[in-house]
């Protein structure tokens, strides 16, 4: 937990402060007039090998990286796909205890960061970074009741709207919680974020959808593996099989090859060179 807290502090200190870089700015992005509660609005990669991460994701998705600096002087890289900023890379030293630190950390828009962190604690979660103000809003980080980390954010300028964040190759197209107890997880996020919850039947069993204002924002998958509960970030690719092979050639590891038995072969699960897990999802399906 100490290593997660240290990394999360660096992430939150840099998030929403690095957009003062000298790149293309925000001219190709549009923002909602009011925060889009329940939408995942930012994604940070915490990694113990930032150089390898930049080579990997630049080769896999064609991303550009802009070096920036957080208010505490920590190194931070903004991730840009074309003219749209989608996240950041946070270099973090490997913990002395050897704990795994590399991961994708998503941020969800909430109405009140302080109230959401209080509800997280009341529902069995842990606050790893207490609410703090950043240049464009207020943020925090929590670990849910099953051990999955997530960031909470409230922006002062509105959130990137659904036009700006439209799906495509190299873009985030879905966020999915791998949960030990899907019903308990749904209850947790209903309380913390304010989601509406519905369960649907699909091939392979039931699936839980988290929605807000009539739009599905994330899903919950009952964990069919021995992996620890975690949020999985899905990135769009034209061909999951080819993308998985490319990921391996760039130093990643393929955990799950596309197979007709899992979502009709439309996904592959890989790690980047530092061990952060990501999902390669066919786009368009």
pLDDT along the chain (285 residues), means of 10: 45 43 68 96 96 98 90 82 94 76 96 98 97 90 97 95 96 97 98 98 89 97 90 98 98 96 94 97 94
- Distance between CA 247 and CA 257 in Å, rounded? 11
Average model confidence (pLDDT) across the chain:
90
CA dihedral 219, 224, 230, 233 (to 10 degrees): -50
Q: How far is CA 37 from CA 23, 77, 119, 218, in A?
A: 28, 26, 16, 12
Please give the pLDDT value at position 48: 94
Is the dihedral angle over the CA atoms 137, 39, 141, 124 positive or is it negative?
positive
* Residue 118: predicted pLDDT: 98
Separation of alpha carbons 41 and 131, rounded Å: 17
């Amino acid at each position: 937990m100490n290593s997660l807290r240290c990394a999360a502090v660096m992430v939150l200190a840099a998030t929403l402060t690095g957009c003062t870089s000298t790149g293309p700015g925000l001219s190709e992005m549009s923002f909602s007039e009011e925060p889009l509660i329940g939408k995942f609005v930012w994604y940070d990669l915490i990694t113990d090998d930032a150089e390898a991460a930049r080579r990997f994701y630049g080769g896999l998705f064609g991303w550009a990286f802009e070096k920036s600096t957080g208010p505490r002087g920590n190194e931070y890289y903004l991730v840009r796909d074309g003219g749209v900023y989608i996240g950041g890379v946070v270099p973090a030293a490997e913990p002395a205890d050897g704990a795994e630190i590399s991961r994708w950390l998503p941020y969800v828009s909430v109405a009140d960061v302080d109230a959401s962190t209080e509800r997280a604690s009341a529902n069995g979660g842990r606050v790893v970074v207490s609410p703090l103000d950043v240049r464009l809003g207020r943020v925090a980080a929590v670990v849910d009741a099953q051990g999955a980390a997530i960031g909470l954010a409230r922006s002062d300028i509105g959130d990137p709207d659904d036009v700006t964040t439209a799906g495509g190759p190299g873009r985030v197209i879905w966020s999915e919680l791998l949960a030990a107890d899907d019903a308990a997880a749904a209850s947790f996020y209903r309380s913390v974020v304010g989601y509406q919850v519905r369960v649907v039947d699909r091939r392979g069993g039931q699936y839980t959808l988290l929605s807000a204002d009539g739009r599905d924002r994330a899903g919950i998958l009952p964990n069919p593996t021995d992996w620890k509960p975690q949020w999985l970030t899905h990135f769009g690719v034209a061909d999951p099989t080819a993308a998985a092979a490319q990921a391996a050639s760039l130093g990643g590891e393929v955990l799950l090859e596309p197979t007709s038995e899992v979502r009709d072969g439309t996904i592959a699960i890989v790690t980047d060179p530092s061990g952060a897990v990501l999902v390669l999802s066919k786009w368009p399906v």
